[in-house]
Amino acid sequence: MKGKLIIFSAPSGAGKTTIVHHLLNKIPKLEFSVSACSRLMRKDETHGVDYYFISVDDFKKKIENEEFVEWEEVYKDNFYGTLKTEIERIWKKGHHIIFDMDVVGGLNLKKQYGDQALAIFVMPPSIQHLEERLKMRETETTETIARRIGKAEVELQTADQFDKIILNDSLEHAFAEAEKIVSEFLQ
């Protein structure tokens, strides 16, 4: 079996992580690509499950050693990236990979893997909606919310470069749409 890549991208707070978790429960052949990142761990997160949390210095060493298939400084000193070893690990098990990443990383991966990858953009109903969701996260400060909203406005303009767009106006609708699109691609 040739391993495939399912890439979910969206502005922060659009609900892509919730959709990705739903698909992981529904489709056993999918496995989540755990990214490396240099930001602090949130209290509901686990090392090796949500991310491999590493220091900025370690991250920079791995960049130098060309250990990433893609990486990005998403916010100042907050590096995120996909390790080549992570992709190999999942494909070796005969699983397809599902990614949760920002739009630049998502489009970068799509470009590298072409038809082997399906790039999906999760569209929030509105910027106000995003802001409300971010405010509900206890870990976000006024400053990080403003930063994420500023980035979201730019990210929304990249939606039409993706293979598919899912409007997350209701989770029920988004789940059903995601299941349909991904199952078809994996057939």
Q: What residues line the site for ligand 5GP (CB under 6 A)? A: 12, 35, 39, 70, 72, 74, 80-82, 100-102, 104-105
What b/e string do you get for 94-121 counting C-beta neighbours within 10 Å, with b at 16 or more?
A: ebbbbbbbbbbbbbbbbeebeeebbbbb
Nearest distance in Å: CB 6, ligand 5GP? 14
- Which pairs with CB-CB distance under 8 Å and at least 24 residues apart come from 48-55? 51/80, 52/83
* Distance between CA atoms of residues 139 and 43, nearest Å: 8
Closest to ligand 5GP by CB, 59 or 187: 59
Nearest distance in Å: CB 109, ligand 5GP? 8
- Closest chain position to ligand 5GP (CB): 105
How many Cα neighbours within 13 Å face the side chain of 90?
Answer: 23
Nearest to 96 by CA among 118, 66, 74: 118
* Distance between CA atoms of residues 158 and 173, nearest Å: 22
Nearest distance in Å: CB 13, ligand 5GP? 8
Nearest distance in Å: CB 98, ligand 5GP? 12
Closest to ligand 5GP by CB, 19 or 27: 19
Closest to ligand 5GP by CB, 13 or 184: 13
Closest to ligand 5GP by CB, 70 or 177: 70
